[in-house]
Amino acid sequence: MTMLRRLWKRHVTGRPDQYRAYVSFPSATDGTLVADVHERVEELEHAFEGRLDVYARLQGIAVVTDRVPADEFDVTAFEAILDRIEDAYRETHRLVCLEKWRSIDGRLVRSYVVVPVKPLFPSDPSDRREIASSSTE
C-alpha cells in the first residue's frame, strides 16, 4: 500500500512529502558574481527556512539543504530563485537542474541538483568560427 501511495503522489498528484536541494555556485575569475551568489544563498536560506549548509569548494561554493516539508515549501519561489541563478551565470554558464524523487524514511522526497556548467561550445556562431579557424592553423 505504501508503494501505491508513493506512486500516486509522484505520478498523479506531483506532490512529494518533502523537498531538498543541492546548488553549486562556481566562482568567477573576475569576482563579479560574488554579490549575486550571496543574494541567491540568502534566498535559498529563506525558501528552505534556514535548513541549509554552505560549503567552500575549490572552484566555488555549494549549498546543501535539509529536507523541508511540502506544506512549508514554496515551489514557485524556489523556481524564481533558479531563474535568478541562471541570469547571474548567463554569460558564462548554462544552468543544469536535475530532479530526483526518492523514498527516504517512508517519505517521498523531491530533490533538486542545480549546477551551472560551462558549455562545451560557445553559443555565439561567430565565436565558433574563430575557434575553428584557430584550430586549423
In angstroms, the Cα distances linking 111 to 23, 114, 131 are 11, 10, 38
How many whole angstroms from its chain centre is CA 114?
2
In order, the DSSP letters of 32-69 are TTHHHHHHHHHHHHHHTTT-EEEEEETTEEEEEEPPEE
Look at residue 1 and tell me whether its pLDDT is greater than 80: no
Cell triple for 68: 523541508
Asked if 61 contacts 37 with a C-beta cutoff of 8 angstroms, the reply is yes
Q: What's the pTM value of the predicted model, to 2 decimals?
A: 0.76
Per-residue pLDDT reduced to its tens digit, 63-114: 999 999 999 999 999 999 999 999 988 888 899 999 998 888 888 899 999 9
Domain ranges (residues) in the chain: 2-136
